[in-house]
Amino acid sequence: MKKISKGNLIDLVALMAENQQVYLPVKANGETNYARYTAGAEVDIDTLKTVKSAKEVFFPQSETLYTVVTEDKKYKITQQELQKEEFVLFGVRPCDVKGIEVLDRVFLTDPVDTFYKARRDHGVIVSFACSEPEESCFCKVFGIDCAEPNADVACWVKDGEIFWKALTAKGEALTEKCASVLADADETAVDTLKSDIRNIVEKLPYMNLSLEGWNGEVTDEKFNSEIWETLYKPCLACGTCTFVCPTCQCYDIKDYKTSNGIQKYRCWDSCMYSDFTMMAHGNNRTTQLQRYRQRFMHKLVYFPKNNDGMYSCVGCGRCVDKCPASTNIVKVIKAFMNEEAGK
């Protein structure tokens, strides 16, 4: 294990950024999101949850796929270059790391998404334990230990120092690059911190959530429940939950007309929108109830059914914090828990 003074964080980041891009939490206009590091940026590793998750580094909100231009009355098609250089994603929380694992199941399964794969192949993830989990967090419900980051490098912040432990070959290589600013540390230095974090987690308000009854074999039972009739009504169909979610992967592909051609680009979409997957004949989900139900059935039933029991929620709590109608996945799970208790 290695360590560095938290006061020397910028020295560490600047060293990593000398020969590769570094993406990390940056505060701008009062909000913290992942951005590429530039000299003078307000690096913020203290904010527990960025507004949008770290998935944007691997699955951008908008990205060009290829361009079509006209030259001498002929069309020329140019594919966007794939990621070729190594980069570092720094400061990711354990829930967001798990979210990336969920996306791996989607984009790295045949047919493999080459844009996503290139970024995953070249990205090194440095994850930070959550020293002070918040009331809206419930990652433990989905089997995540926020005291024990699972990435290429795991980090803990304690008593003004950042403790650093390489966990993979990628992590070892990055550690070697940063050797000049890292000092040796005792492996047991963060044991007390881990215990303290887990004690906090046990006291959080959503620790009583139960996933009993949710799995890939209860499609009909959950789909046909009358509970959805009540749950969906406050939903505004704004899509906020899907845009802050670390695991939502819905996207649309559109054309943008330029002065001499077309750009084909991909952008995030939301299953909560009435025009999502709209086709010539219309849309298969014509009501907000159907769209609302689809979102949570996918998280808790459809995805685990097709992915060895892995849920498509990581308990980060962003939807709890951001939903203007407070109609989030916690409310859904609780509603079904109450139904089971009343039987």
- The span from the CA of 101 to the CA of 280, in Å, is 34
Residue 247: what residue type? T
Nearest to 162 by CA among 177, 178, 176: 178
- The span from the CA of 31 to the CA of 221, in Å, is 41
Tens of pLDDT along 9-27?
Answer: 999 999 999 999 999 999 9
Q: What is the pTM of this model?
A: 0.93
Sequence ranges of the domains in the chain: 2-202, 219-342
Neighbours of 328 (CB within 10 A): 18
- The span from the CA of 145 to the CA of 148, in Å, is 6
Q: Are strands 2-5 and 183-184 parallel, antiparallel or unpaired?
A: antiparallel
Tens of pLDDT along 270-326?
Answer: 988 887 876 666 667 789 999 999 999 999 999 999 999 999 999 999 999 999 999
Whether residue 97 contacts residue 150, with contact meaning beta carbons closer than 8 Å, is answered with: yes
Tens of pLDDT along 78-93?
Answer: 999 999 999 999 999 9
Non-local (6+) Cβ contacts of 245 within 8 A are 53, 99, 316, 318, 319
With 80 as the cut, is the pLDDT of residue 331 above it?
yes
Tens of pLDDT along 208-225?
Answer: 999 999 988 899 999 999
Number of helices (H), then strands (E), in the chain? 13, 12
Q: Are strands 153-158 and 123-128 parallel, antiparallel or unpaired?
A: parallel
